[in-house]
Structure 1
């Protein structure tokens, strides 16, 4: 039993690492530069360079990944490029509504499933 649990735990860790790696790659494959959200096109290139440095975008991709992974596991998701606020604050505001919607859908689907099961039996 312990061997089975250890095997499953290792598989879970590898799957989480794989998903995080794919997410990181997809984020960096997205077209455009995140600094373009912060700046106007006519801005001084020195300011653009400073913004890229502050966001850590001037680092090589592998260094960005090595910085991103520990921050992710510590719950530091950074600052939203759109709202200019910490992502954790945005999540804290939106999670209750998401959970409420999920609960309503789950209960309604459960009731519909039971009723259909009784009807079709």
Structure 2
């Protein structure tokens, strides 16, 4: 994995973008998502175990840049990304690993809000 500073920056950006309370919907725009994805792509390009997550992030980035993204495809991709992030965190080391769990929860929460 790349430097802890680069990784922590990506984790913080993700959590800030996906931050929500129980009563509030996530208000991140597709452009916010693309910005966060770009940070993660930079982090994960140096990590061999992250190949699947990296590919999914690139797919998500493309989907978010489309004018009329398919909601079902977006939900499926967010859930797959959450599943693979869990797997990646179980095979990685670093002080930021516990933060990945928060990202997984946020991804699943964001996906469930797409149903509404």
Range of TM-score over shorter length = under 0.3
Q: Which gives a bigger RCO, structure 1 or 2 (Cα 8 Å, sep 6+)? A: 2
**TM-score between both structures, scaled by the size of structure 1:** 0.25
